[in-house]
Chain A
Amino acid sequence: MNSARQNTGLREPQRPEFEHELVDSGVIGDIERPLGFGERLLNNETFQRFMILFVLIVVWEAYARWLNNSLLFPSFSETVQTFLHDLGTGVLINRTITSLRTLAIGYAFGLAFAAVFTTLAVASGVGTRILSTLTAMFNPLPAIALLPLALIWFGLGTPSLVFVIIHSVLWAVALNTLIGFRSVPETLRMSGRNVGLKGARYVGLILIPAAFPSILAGLKIGWAFAWRTLVAAELVFGVSARSGGIGWYIFEARNDLDTPTVFSGLLTVILIGLVVESVIFRTIEARTVNLWGMQR
């Protein structure tokens, strides 16, 4: 045996070798174990969000009661009372619907224009330059600064509001979509072209889903800009014809020094923001980019 080892040039191992039969894994016990109810609840995102809200409300209520001046800073309970009352009389609902209708029109037009611009930008190098120049110029321009101009062009009323909303949506969405398209990996593009995809089908079946995290981010920013712009614009020139929006509701209440109503208006603005963000966008995210592992 020694001579055989010498022939192959191998030396005697200094430590003995060994091989094991594997132990049956049943002995080890559960490899996966469900977490307890408490632990799952604490890790639940919705639960955490509610806890944060709860703490904020407690702080608000405590401060307001300590201040004891409902003209300056009404308490949470007072605000909720006013909110529920105005909800009951239907004032708040009418105002909100007016605002949301205008918002929907503006948002839809903004997205349509953004689609046109990004299509042009994807199609050619010149289009890209046009879009990036326009975006660089107009994106930093506050929509509200265009309002006086809009009033001259379109008069008092919904068209002016729609105009400023389009402005606030368009650039954010277009810019994000373009960035998303640009960052689609070359390999993915090639595997799309490999099966013969071209033009609109290529954009629809490859580029848009591949760039979806960016597009969604753009939609979210666009939504927030639009909502903000709308409320601000309504505060500035108030009512059109018969019915005003939620901004007008706040403005009216401030003129009457009715601070709890102002707060109830602000609460409405915040609630709608929260619902859109954490219900609508969150659902879209969970069913798309999170499911696909494109975003954590």
Chain B
Amino acid sequence: MSPVLLEVNGVTLQYKTPRHLVTATYQVDFSVHQGDRYVILGPSGCGKSTLLKAVGGFMAPVEGSIRIRGREVAAPGPDRMMVFQEFEQLMPWKTVYQNVIFPMKVTRKFARAEAVERANAAIEKVKLSEFRDIYPHMLSGGMKMRVAIARAMALEPDILLMDEPFAALDALTRRSMQQELLSLWDQLRFTVLFVTHSIEEAILVGSRILVLSPHPGRVRAELDADSFNFSNIDQRKFGAMSKRIHGLLFGDEAHHAAERAHA
């Protein structure tokens, strides 16, 4: 078995709104291994995005610990590159190429010449070479997302954190982005922690799925989804997996209601 990369132990996360103290997750445990496509799945309000932000180092847990390669996560850092749901994550004042090379320049992780090479290679991989010198406002949503992914991957982080990266895309683009992510993973075998609220996306993209319950987020199950992909999306076992997760998320009552509706 591949080594453990990220360990989350008994993590409780709370944040303050002007009027309330909200508990987003309660004593969540999980661990991500090297090369995992680890999906955190849950309905809205289960604290999955908050959990990802905590792994990113943007907020500290009130209880429990988050360790990456054994080191405690204390602040944001380029070893955990984040890809956000919003398109605003690209810098509008930089071209595609400048956006991709920016983190490498800032962190000085690579020598100048190597950074240039890596940036070009990353842009090539997400099939945007033609748009290398274009500013983000002229790109479509899917293209912006590809730039964000290329930027994150070029830096070669320990783990890629993706916060519902395809949620704001149209259904067709979303599907092709899922395929691209999987084929990139086939080439590079990076580790990714992926947050989504779509059961289908979780089964397709993930190799492991962590199912969270809402209000506050607690671990409901961890499932293996490595055997599912686009080739068996229409098969019975895919549907069965989907139903199982549905049952875990919404309870058996909702599960039966859904079955009655289908009949």
Query: A191 and B82: CB pair below 8 A?
Result: yes
Query: B88 and A188: CB pair below 8 A?
Result: yes
Query: A194 and B82: CB pair below 8 A?
Result: yes
With A205-B106, A292-B137 already in contact, the answer to whether A196 and B88 are too (CB < 8 A) is: no
Query: A194 and B106: CB pair below 8 A?
Result: no
Query: B78 and A194: CB pair below 8 A?
Result: yes
- Residues of B contacting A293 in the complex (Cβ-Cβ under 8 angstroms): 92, 135-138
Instruction: Let me know if A90 is at the binding interface, CB within 8 A.
Output: no
With A185-B86, A195-B107, A196-B106 already in contact, the answer to whether A292 and B92 are too (CB < 8 A) is: yes
Instruction: Let me know if A197 is at the binding interface, CB within 8 A.
Output: yes
With A195-B78, A205-B106 already in contact, the answer to whether A187 and B89 are too (CB < 8 A) is: yes
State which residues 158-203 of A face B: CB under 8 Å: 185, 187-188, 190-191, 193-197, 201
Query: Pick the contact of A196 from B84, B89, B107 — CB < 8 Å?
Result: B107
State which residues 46-91 of B face A: CB under 8 Å: 56, 58, 75-78, 80-82, 84, 86, 88-89, 91
Query: B93 and A188: CB pair below 8 A?
Result: no
State which residues 148-187 of B face A: CB under 8 Å: 155
Instruction: Let me know if A215 is at the binding interface, CB within 8 A.
Output: no
- Residues of A contacting B93 in the complex (Cβ-Cβ under 8 angstroms): 209-210, 212, 288, 292, 294
- Residues of A contacting B77 in the complex (Cβ-Cβ under 8 angstroms): 194, 196
Query: B76 and A193: CB pair below 8 A?
Result: yes
Rounded to whole Å, the gap between the CB of A88 and the closest CB of chain B is 45
Query: A196 and B137: CB pair below 8 A?
Result: no
Query: B91 and A210: CB pair below 8 A?
Result: yes
Query: Pick the contact of A193 from B58, B91, B92, B102 — CB < 8 Å?
Result: B58
> In the complex the two chains form, what is the Cα distance from A205 to B91 in whole Å?
10
Query: A191 and B135: CB pair below 8 A?
Result: no
Rounded to whole Å, the gap between the CB of B94 and the closest CB of chain A is 8
- Residues of A contacting B10 in the complex (Cβ-Cβ under 8 angstroms): none
Q: Which residue of A lies closest to B86 (CB)?
A: A187
Q: Which residue of A lies closest to B77 (CB)?
A: A196
Instruction: Let me know if B45 is at the binding interface, CB within 8 A.
Output: no
Query: A188 and B82: CB pair below 8 A?
Result: no
Q: Mark A255-296, 1 if CB is under 8 A from B, else 0.
A: 000000000000000000000000000000000100111100
Query: B89 and A191: CB pair below 8 A?
Result: yes
Q: Considering residues B76, B81, B93, B135, which has the most beta carbons from chain A within 10 angstroms of its beta carbon?
A: B93
Q: Which residue of A lies closest to B148 (CB)?
A: A191
- Residues of B contacting A209 in the complex (Cβ-Cβ under 8 angstroms): 91, 93
> In the complex the two chains form, what is the Cα distance from A197 to B105 in whole Å?
11
State which residues 100-134 of A face B: CB under 8 Å: none
> In the complex the two chains form, what is the Cα distance from A259 to B78 in whole Å?
68
Q: Mark B110-145, 1 if CB is under 8 A from A, else 0.
A: 000000000000000000000000011110000000
Q: Which residue of B lies closest to A209 (CB)?
A: B93
Q: Which residue of B lies closest to A201 (CB)?
A: B106
Q: Which residue of B lies closest to A208 (CB)?
A: B93
With A195-B102, A196-B77, A205-B106 already in contact, the answer to whether A190 and B92 are too (CB < 8 A) is: no
Instruction: Let me know if B103 is at the binding interface, CB within 8 A.
Output: yes
- Residues of A contacting B56 in the complex (Cβ-Cβ under 8 angstroms): 190, 194
Rounded to whole Å, the gap between the CB of A239 and the closest CB of chain B is 45
With A194-B78, A197-B106, A293-B136 already in contact, the answer to whether A185 and B88 are too (CB < 8 A) is: yes
- Residues of A contacting B78 in the complex (Cβ-Cβ under 8 angstroms): 194-196
Query: Pick the contact of A190 from B75, B84, B138 — CB < 8 Å?
Result: B84
> In the complex the two chains form, what is the Cα distance from A185 to B56 in whole Å?
18
- Residues of A contacting B75 in the complex (Cβ-Cβ under 8 angstroms): 196
Rounded to whole Å, the gap between the CB of A190 and the closest CB of chain B is 6
Query: B106 and A190: CB pair below 8 A?
Result: no
> In the complex the two chains form, what is the Cα distance from A201 to B107 in whole Å?
12
Q: Mark B180-200, 1 if CB is under 8 A from A, else 0.
A: 000000000000000000000
With A195-B78, A197-B106 already in contact, the answer to whether A187 and B84 are too (CB < 8 A) is: yes
Rounded to whole Å, the gap between the CB of B122 and the closest CB of chain A is 15
Query: Pick the contact of B84 from A191, A197, A292 — CB < 8 Å?
Result: A191
- Residues of A contacting B89 in the complex (Cβ-Cβ under 8 angstroms): 187-188, 190-191
Rounded to whole Å, the gap between the CB of B205 and the closest CB of chain A is 21
- Residues of B contacting A210 in the complex (Cβ-Cβ under 8 angstroms): 91-93
Rounded to whole Å, the gap between the CB of B249 and the closest CB of chain A is 27
Q: Which residue of B lies closest to A195 (CB)?
A: B103
Task: List 29 interface pairs A-B (beta carbons < 8 Å), by A numbering.
Answer: A187-B84, A187-B86, A188-B88, A190-B56, A191-B82, A191-B84, A193-B58, A193-B76, A194-B76, A195-B103, A196-B75, A196-B76, A196-B77, A196-B78, A196-B107, A209-B91, A209-B93, A288-B93, A291-B135, A292-B92, A292-B93, A292-B135, A292-B137, A293-B92, A293-B135, A293-B136, A293-B138, A294-B92, A294-B93
- Taking Cβ atoms with an 8 Å cutoff, the residues of A that contact B are 185, 187-188, 190-191, 193-197, 201, 205-206, 209-210, 212, 288, 291-294
- Taking Cβ atoms with an 8 Å cutoff, the residues of B that contact A are 56, 58, 75-78, 80-82, 84, 86, 88-89, 91-93, 102-103, 106-107, 135-138, 155
